[in-house]
A and B are shown apart, each in its own frame.
Chain A
């Protein structure tokens, strides 16, 4: 072989190699589309999901993206309206032609997105769907591991926590918002408490957006319950505790279903408030290095974004988990094929910051990983079950 021929071959190989690298670098990004409630009544919590999505996509792109392609997240504002979310998901699939979908925030919008995903056979991983029995689409996957029947399991866990602390109540007041993903849980709690022989001394319901909690607080005070189950969403719990404080009443033990985490942890009257969680910013959760890195990043970004709660809790953790599931499904199948990814998720367990998640139960729900947390000295700490409780933390009761 002549020297000239060798040179020509080397040049040809180098050119091909350079062209290949250039092509890979210039490959179109993987486009992931979603909506979030960037405005409207749900926007306070949706800001958390936006921040988490930005953090995750940034991390993902730093480690090479998906299938060697960079990831672009297209997020649109559904204005906290499920009907707008439906239109925007249609738009994402048909006009924007995104490769993959990510779920929006809150049950109503997720239900809308699920309908669109089903129409186009797209996989939909979502972070905050509150009514598992309504999730009928076979390619939807929940990142919030609240189990298939939270209406029974959550109140059972709460009673377990109270029992373990030697504070099983004899009487309960159940007061609840009629917000759909809250209401069925409170009705479930009624059944669980009844079966356990806890006497219900008060049951009250209010419409979402109620302003005056004074009369409700007065009725709870009059009923003198050992334990108050508050079917709260957003600020309801704060408003009720505030109204109770104004009439010089503090319930012995009180549980709030889905409170706005920042305002509740900062309110002095909320010290001792119980709630549920899948993740809190302390060991053993932060023993996972991925979780630890995320909590640090989130804290920094949330501080810069002036969010009132800068610790990772339920919302941020569920959001991060959803992105972890999407990445795992793409890497597991080495494709962006919705069917392959859905089949893979059903057949495999995925390591997430919440723990290992599986999707082989009813409505693709797996284990119930809901834990009981409590506000203690201005911090949310998981107090039950003991194996995931913050180091040294125990449920405190009056």
Chain B
């Protein structure tokens, strides 16, 4: 086996960085919901695809730029997230049962997507989809760059809010000990609705980014579950920065594995990294 060229390694690492950023962006809302709301929201993946299909539809029928479509998708998904959390709270669904309930919801959303857009592949033809920049010998495609920038912006905006504002501190306090936080005047219910809406809105953003680079099919909802869960668990539940860092570590590791060895080894990278991390730090979950 000959050693790959530096350019091949760098281009592959760049490809991993971009796909890792998407893992992180999808994982961001999932991890916050799991860590701070105690809702293991499998429907997050269905929301991501619903967002992607909406962006596709708006582009196909009205020619709307998917980035402009965010202006409609974000508030719509925020409302959907609030509604879902209100229902979960209303029926007092336990953390474990949210997994089952949201799995059912995922199946329903998948069926609705299939009913509307059929099981066939759909591709959003973004006007700037073929733009790429040259960085020395490396190529940087615009859709992937947009995803990376979106992931960085969302991650650090949330990090800033959770770390540096009273609102964020109240959210973290409510997640840690809701009764005590309430005793200090924190409106836990309202904050939970706000956070659930934000997580769903993030799913919408991730969906738009997904639609920029990937062809869509309803059944692909499940293809992202394993690797994104690994990124969330490695990054730490409730952490805004962790999923992005873990996603990029996984993405780059997978890409370098593909560049150096057989690409068929890549899928085991994420779970190997997760197992190693859990062995090294068993109290991470």
Contacts and interface: CB of A to CB of B under 8 A. Distances in A.
B120 A218 contact: no
B15 interface: yes
Contact of B5 (A44, A212, A222, A238): A222
B171 interface: no
Contacts of A216: 258, 263
A215 B263 contact: yes
A212 B269 CA distance: 13
A204 B262 contact: yes
A171 B62 CA distance: 46
B12, B111, B214, B256: most-surrounded residue (chain A CB, <10 A):
B12
Nearest to B256: A215
Given A210-B263, A210-B266, A235-B215, A305 B118 contact: yes
B141 interface: yes
A219 B263 CA distance: 10
Interface string A172-212: 00000010000000000000000000000000111101111
A232 to B, nearest CB: 13
B280 interface: no
B120 A47 contact: yes
Interface in A240-272: 243, 245-248, 260, 262-263, 266
B123 interface: yes
Given A214-B16, A260-B121, A43 B114 contact: yes
A209 B263 contact: no
A215 B120 contact: no
A368 to B, nearest CB: 29
A239 interface: yes
Given A215-B259, A218-B12, A41 B220 contact: yes
B258 A306 contact: no
Nearest to A205: B264
Interface string B1-34: 0001101100110111011000000000000000
B197 interface: no
Given A205-B264, A212-B251, A215-B258, A43 B19 contact: no
B132 A248 contact: yes
A41 B217 CA distance: 8
A312 to B, nearest CB: 16
A47 B117 CA distance: 12
A2 B18 CA distance: 99
B139 A205 contact: no
A262 B215 CA distance: 12
A207, A238, A248: most-surrounded residue (chain B CB, <10 A):
A207
Given A305-B118, A307-B120, A215 B267 contact: no
Interface string B165-204: 0000000000000000000000000000000000000000
Given A204-B262, A218-B12, A246 B121 contact: no
Contacts of B217: 41, 43-44, 235
Contacts, number: 120
Contact of A235 (B111, B121, B256): B121
A80 B223 CA distance: 14
A219 to B, nearest CB: 6
A133 interface: no
B255 A205 contact: no
B120 A44 contact: yes
A43 B258 contact: no
B223 A209 contact: yes
A44, A80, A210, A246: most-surrounded residue (chain B CB, <10 A):
A246
B281 interface: no
B219 A212 contact: no
B90 interface: no
B119 interface: yes
A361 interface: no
Interface string B91-123: 000000000000000000011001000111111
A246 B218 CA distance: 25
A47 B119 contact: yes
Interface in A273-329: 305-308
B5 to A, nearest CB: 6
A308 B117 CA distance: 11
Contacts of A209: 223, 267
A390 B128 CA distance: 35
20 contacts: A38-B119, A39-B114, A43-B218, A44-B121, A44-B217, A178-B264, A206-B264, A210-B267, A211-B214, A212-B254, A212-B255, A214-B12, A214-B255, A215-B255, A222-B8, A235-B215, A235-B217, A248-B132, A306-B118, A307-B120
Interface of A: 38-41, 43-44, 46-47, 80, 178, 204-207, 209-212, 214-216, 218-219, 222, 235, 238-239, 243, 245-248, 260, 262-263, 266, 305-308
Kindly list the 4 A-B residue pairs having the minimum CB-CB distance in the complex, ordered from nearest: A214-B15, A43-B119, A215-B258, A215-B12
